């Protein structure tokens, strides 16, 4: 059977992680390559994850007082030019629209790489008084960055994201918002994606073009490389000065506003693949899995008469209980083929039901996290399934946390640093003097970058810079990253 | 007060409908002009409507077996060129990307005006066998059309929409899908937007570039002009031939697939404004209104101690019951100002609560549809509010239906046709011989176009063409339109 051959075509993860990732994404129909360099199509099975992410994150964005809006896709070049630091950060990556229909445009339009410039301009029209503040707006949108090296979900020319853009009366309020969102992201990723993260400030070298400070959550993928999962920027008054966004404060003085911006993207889908997947394929945490349960009828004898109707009934019961269930009733595939197919597609729980199971009022349950079988009674099935799904969710988180903890190492010499990066990867905690030069050299020699500087650690510690051995007060977390 | 002046700045609808529309949209913060010609920002109050539309329509799209996916924003020029009929239809409206970063692209990329070409290409890779059919995919996305004359929501350079793209084994299946979606749109718009529609086939002149047949739902705005609310196309095998999308049928023969595509857009928000709005401002049907109930505490005496806590309690009770409620507790505005502000913003139900109301365990309720006051008890408030909201929803639909019925006229002479179009507008039912020439002349002389040819009417009727007086079997519906 052609399909059976295809299942075995996935390169084992242990053999070639990168190949495994690409094989898996295409074979499980999460995404496919588009015919334009660096662009992809998010197929229904992958997009269903994005819909779950959107729903679960949007709830949190709204619960913290934000509202959604939509700003234009195009940004005039002059707007980006107003803010040279920002333009320089993004210019190499901008796709430019030069013609509308047959006519050449008077001014080129950037396809938004991010929306600070256009939103800054609009805020300058909308914000007049302290009564208008805070402005807490988020946008779900597509953005384009002309990347040289691309990889589905992780780095693509176009991607989907949410970008929050807020305006405040004071630095303190903006800083509180920046950290509130960082914590919202951390809680969201750990709870829903079952991926533990570390968090902290980025070094100046790694911060967002135009920001006062960038904060990020970072996770360890199962090959030991780090992935930036989300960022939250305190923009200070930088864009406010560029776009002249001023408000009359309560003392009737004109002041520049203080801003933040923050985002997560479809990259999170790539993180799910790389953090939880194994040699058998995808492993999705139940809370964001496209399907949570797959029911496979054992197709022997007159199964269509005896087994199928009970399988349909089970599926309906699960769906009624709010569980995303799928019944694979195709007769052109064997049960065995379906088992490995749905394992590969990462469905958290498989229920097998055959004639004997029906007689015994039971189903065979196989969890995707450890592939162990158990027998469960059809009485109270819904509650039992919910318990198993919750158990899978926490077992995946704990597994990933154990991996992260086991792959976070504090080193005290540069030799050790290089050895760990080369042999084991993972997060490396090391003292850093704070100089961009040391940071750049370390990157050049080891391909490791500072992922985050954990919050507030600067006050309490003192040691020697891992590179120059000068006094260092910062314990930074380094890693090779995607 | 500056704000009170602004309320009166809306041009009365009866005086200048077009001005009223533009004033209202900006003053109520549904949308604002972006600094690029023809582009707009959808502000949170307007975007909340889009979110409600998305949620309510997406439920229906999924209930009919469709799944969502995401295809690239850019389409290579050669893809559009493959399909000349399609390209010619869209070429004058395409925004072209010519540069990525500093480099000129080898091939220009169109910012998608619609996605048939890129989706057709991907389907040619995905569809191999009858087992792969039907493919029932929908996409929520932004699209760009370089329009010469624009108006917020109705016609903008960029807009948001959903586009369904399905693939089938036979003409009959594709045709059934086309009409199923048309009916889904009709039911959605009538139920959720409270706007009655007519529906039918478009003339060849008005159909989608590349389609076999286009079907549409059309509604009458309160100025008597028609608005196309949604379209559903039977694409036949046209794109299948262009992109070579073939499948092996059950008899093992290679066949071209049959396709449909269909969409509704943010234009529906403009329809809500124009179909229901009045001289006092917006009037939103409760099911899609951003806010369904606004609670206004009567701010006299020690209202913050006596009235406000009860108002907060009411708001929480309503929200708990699933009602979108807002408490306007601002102390810098008077109750009277708030009344007209929220009337203008179209909130379906206003609850006023003052010290006397609290004593009597009641609130004053004012419905936005007819602005009449009533007293309602705070006992069982949630149920009572739900009843009133349902009543407003159906009263708005009935009002619009009465308007539509009263403004649909059958005419039997061209003189009468011209007089009705000039003096009364509305829908005009008239016989048409089917020739494009008559259709073009009528448009040229009256600015009226064929909105739809009602389904199946061709078989049962016979008369004289309103223009050329030759025999006609088609009773078409004409109108001036947006």
Residues of chain B in contact with residue A28, where contact means CB-CB under 8 angstroms, are: none
Give a yes or no: residue B51 inside a domain: yes
List the single residue in A70, A79, A146 with the smallest CB-CB distance to B42: A70
Checking if the pLDDT of B7 tops 60, the result is: no
Same domain, B191 and B303: no
pLDDT for the residue numbered A10: 86
List the single residue in B96, B102, B142 with the smallest CB-CB distance to A92: B102
CATH number at residue B445: 3.30.110.30
A144 vs B73: CB contact, 8 Å cut-off?
yes
Residues of chain B in contact with residue A243, where contact means CB-CB under 8 angstroms, are: none
List the single residue in B47, B76, B142 with the smallest CB-CB distance to A73: B142
Checking if the pLDDT of B12 tops 80, the result is: yes
Give a yes or no: residue A284 inside a domain: no
Give a yes or no: residue A229 inside a domain: yes
pLDDT tier at B3 (50, 70, 90 boundaries)? Answer: very low
Give a yes or no: residue A171 inside a domain: yes
**Gap from B29 CA to chain A (nearest CA, Å):** 10
pTM comes to 0.96
Residues of chain A in contact with residue B67, where contact means CB-CB under 8 angstroms, are: 44, 47-48
> Which range has the worst mean pLDDT, A9-18, A132-141, B130-139, B409-418?
A9-18
Same domain, B253 and B336: no
Residues of chain A in contact with residue B35, where contact means CB-CB under 8 angstroms, are: 76, 79, 118, 121
Tokens matching residue B310:
């009860």
CATH number at residue A191: 3.30.930.10
**Gap from B105 CA to chain A (nearest CA, Å):** 10
Same domain, B338 and B431: no
Question: Using one digit for the tens of pLDDT, what is the confidence trace for B182-227?
Answer: 999 999 999 999 999 999 999 999 999 889 999 999 999 999 999 9
List the single residue in B40, B69, B91 with the smallest CB-CB distance to A41: B69
Bond preceding residue B410 cis, omega within 30 of 0: no
Q: Which of A274, A281, A294, A280 is nearest to A347 (CA)?
A: A294
pLDDT for the residue numbered B90: 80
Strand partners, A168: A258
- What residues of chain A, 153 to 172, have a C-beta less than 8 Å from chain B? 157-158, 160
Checking if the pLDDT of B348 tops 80, the result is: yes
Average pLDDT over residues B232-254: 96
Q: Where a domain ends, among A360, A389, A418?
A: A389
Average pLDDT over residues B334-358: 96
Least CA distance to A117: which residue of chain B?
Answer: B35
Give a yes or no: residue B281 inside a domain: no
B36 vs A142: CB contact, 8 Å cut-off?
no
In A286-422, at which residue ranges do the beta strands (DSSP E only) sit?
293-297, 325-327, 349-353, 362-367, 373-377, 408-410
Q: Between B82 and A233, where is the model more confident?
A: A233
Checking if the pLDDT of B433 tops 50, the result is: yes
List the single residue in A42, A96, A100 with the smallest CB-CB distance to B99: A96
- CB-based contact, B131 to chain A, within 8 Å: yes
pLDDT tier at B22 (50, 70, 90 boundaries)? Answer: very high
- CB-based contact, A43 to chain B, within 8 Å: yes
Least CA distance to B75: which residue of chain A?
Answer: A36
pLDDT tier at B5 (50, 70, 90 boundaries)? Answer: very low
Give a yes or no: residue A283 inside a domain: no
Least CA distance to A30: which residue of chain B?
Answer: B69
Residues of chain A in contact with residue B43, where contact means CB-CB under 8 angstroms, are: 69
User: Would you give the distance in Å from CA A385 to the centre of its chain?
Assistant: 27
Same domain, B28 and B90: yes
| Cα–Cα distance list, A472 to A52, A437, A445, B290 (Å) | 43, 14, 20, 53
**Gap from B83 CA to chain A (nearest CA, Å):** 17
Same domain, A212 and A335: no
B466 φ/ψ sector (left φ>0, alpha ψ -120 to 50, else beta): alpha
Share of chain B above pLDDT 90, in %: 91
Pairing of strands B325-327, B293-297: parallel
pLDDT tier at B458 (50, 70, 90 boundaries)? Answer: low
Contact (CB, 8 A) for B378 and B364: no
Same domain, A121 and A237: yes
Strand partners, B366: B350, B373
Any idea what DSSP says for residue B161?
Answer: E
**Gap from A232 CA to chain B (nearest CA, Å):** 21
Q: Please identify every stretch of chain A with a pLDDT value under 50, giving residue numbers as ranges.
A: 1-6
Residues making up chain B, counted from first to last: 482
Mean pLDDT, chain B, integer: 95
A68 vs B76: CB contact, 8 Å cut-off?
no
Residues of chain A in contact with residue B59, where contact means CB-CB under 8 angstroms, are: none
| C-alpha torsion sign, points B92, A158, B118, B166 | negative
Same domain, B55 and B160: yes
B160 vs A121: CB contact, 8 Å cut-off?
no
Rounded Cα–Cα distance for residues B316 and B312 (Å): 6
Least CA distance to A73: which residue of chain B?
Answer: B158
Tokens matching residue B134:
């039907």
Any idea what DSSP says for residue A12?
Answer: P
Q: Where a domain ends, among B360, B388, B416?
A: B388
**Gap from B295 CA to chain A (nearest CA, Å):** 19
Dump the DSSP string for A146-210: --SS-BTTTB-SEEEEEEEEEEESSHHHHHHHHHHHHHHHHHHHHHHS----EEEEPPGGGS-TT
Give a yes or no: residue A394 inside a domain: no
**Gap from A272 CA to chain B (nearest CA, Å):** 18
Residues making up chain A, counted from first to last: 482
| Cα–Cα distance list, A229 to A262, B7, B177 (Å) | 11, 45, 40
Same domain, B181 and B246: yes
Residues of chain B in contact with residue A47, where contact means CB-CB under 8 angstroms, are: 67-70
**Phi/psi at A220 (5° precision):** -100, 125
Contact (CB, 8 A) for A280 and A162: no
User: B4 by DSSP, 3-state: which?
Assistant: helix
List the single residue in A39, A51, A122 with the smallest CB-CB distance to B74: A39
pLDDT tier at B457 (50, 70, 90 boundaries)? Answer: low
**Gap from B219 CA to chain A (nearest CA, Å):** 26
B102 vs A91: CB contact, 8 Å cut-off?
yes
Checking if the pLDDT of B281 tops 80, the result is: yes
Q: Where a domain ends, among A243, A276, A309?
A: A276
Tokens matching residue B480:
């001036």
Residues contacting residue B418 through CB under 8 Å, at least 6 positions apart: B445, B446
A50 vs B70: CB contact, 8 Å cut-off?
yes
A70 vs B91: CB contact, 8 Å cut-off?
no
| H/E stretch holding B226 | strand B226-236
Residue range(s) defining the domain that contains residue B27: 2-276
Q: How many independent structural domains does chain A possess?
A: 3
Dump the DSSP string for A130-146: GGG--EEEEEEEEEE--
Same domain, A105 and A252: yes
**Gap from A117 CA to chain B (nearest CA, Å):** 12
Same domain, A148 and A207: yes
**Gap from B224 CA to chain A (nearest CA, Å):** 30
List the single residue in B51, B68, B122 with the smallest CB-CB distance to A68: B51
Average pLDDT over residues B136-145: 98
A102 vs B96: CB contact, 8 Å cut-off?
no
Same domain, B128 and B186: yes
Give a yes or no: residue B399 inside a domain: no
- What residues of chain A, 296 to 325, have a C-beta less than 8 Å from chain B? none
- What residues of chain A, 70 to 129, have a C-beta less than 8 Å from chain B? 70-74, 76, 79, 91-102, 108-109, 111, 118, 121-122, 125-126
Tokens matching residue B454:
């009602």
**Phi/psi at A364 (5° precision):** -95, 125
Same domain, A196 and A254: yes
């Amino acid at each position: 059977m052609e399909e059976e051959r295809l299942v075995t075509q996935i390169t084992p993860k242990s053999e070639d992680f990168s190949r495994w990732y690409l094989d898996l994404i295409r074979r499980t129909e999460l995404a496919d390559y588009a015919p334009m360099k660096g662009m992809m199509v998010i197929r229904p099975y992958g997009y269903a994850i994005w819909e779950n992410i959107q729903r679960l994150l949007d709830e949190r964005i709204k619960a913290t007082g934000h509202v959604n809006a939509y700003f234009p896709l195009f940004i005039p070049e002059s707007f980006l030019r107003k803010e040279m630091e920002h333009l320089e950060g993004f210019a190499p990556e901008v796709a430019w629209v030069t013609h509308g229909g047959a006519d050449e445009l008077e001014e080129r339009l950037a396809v938004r790489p991010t929306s600070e410039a256009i939103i800054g301009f609009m805020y300058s029209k909308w914000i007049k008084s302290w009564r208008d503040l805070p402005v807490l707006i988020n946008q779900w949108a597509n953005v384009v960055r002309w990347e040289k090296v691309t990889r589905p979900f992780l780095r693509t020319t176009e991607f989907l994201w949410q970008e929050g853009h807020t305006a405040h009366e004071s630095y303190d309020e903006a800083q509180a918002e920046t950290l509130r969102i960082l914590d919202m992201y951390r809680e969201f990723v750990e709870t829903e994606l079952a991926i533990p993260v570390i968090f902290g400030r980025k070094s100046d070298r790694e911060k967002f073009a135009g920001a006062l400070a960038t904060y990020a959550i970072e996770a360890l993928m199962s090959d030991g490389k780090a992935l930036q999962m989300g960022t939250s920027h305190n923009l200070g008054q930088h864009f406010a000065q560029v776009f002249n966004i001023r408000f009359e404060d309560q003392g009737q003085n004109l002041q520049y506003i203080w801003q933040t911006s923050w985002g997560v993207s479809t990259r999170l889908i790539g993180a799910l693949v790389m953090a939880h997947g194994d040699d058998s394929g995808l492993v999705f945490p139940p809370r964001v899995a496209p399907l949570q349960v797959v029911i496979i009828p054992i197709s022997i004898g007159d199964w269509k008469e005896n087994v199928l109707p009970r399988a349909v009934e089970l599926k309906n019961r699960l769906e009624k209980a709010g569980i995303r269930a799928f019944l694979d009733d195709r007769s052109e595939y064997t049960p065995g083929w379906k088992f490995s197919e749905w394992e590969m597609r990462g469905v958290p729980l498989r229920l097998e039901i055959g004639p004997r199971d029906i007689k015994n009022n039971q189903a065979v349950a196989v969890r995707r996290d450890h592939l162990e079988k158990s027998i469960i009674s059809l009485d109270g099935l819904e509650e039992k399934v919910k318990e198993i799904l919750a158990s899978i969710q926490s077992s995946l988180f704990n597994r990933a946390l154990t991996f992260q903890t086991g792959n976070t190492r504090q080193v005290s010499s540069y030799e050790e640093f290089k050895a760990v990066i080369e042999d084991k990867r993972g997060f490396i905690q090391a003292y850093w003097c704070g100089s961009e030069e040391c940071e750049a050299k370390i990157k050049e020699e080891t391909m490791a970058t500072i992922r985050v500087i954990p919050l507030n650690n600067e006050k309490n510690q003192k040691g020697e810079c891992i590179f120059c051995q000068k006094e260092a007060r910062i314990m930074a977390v380094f890693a090779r990253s995607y």
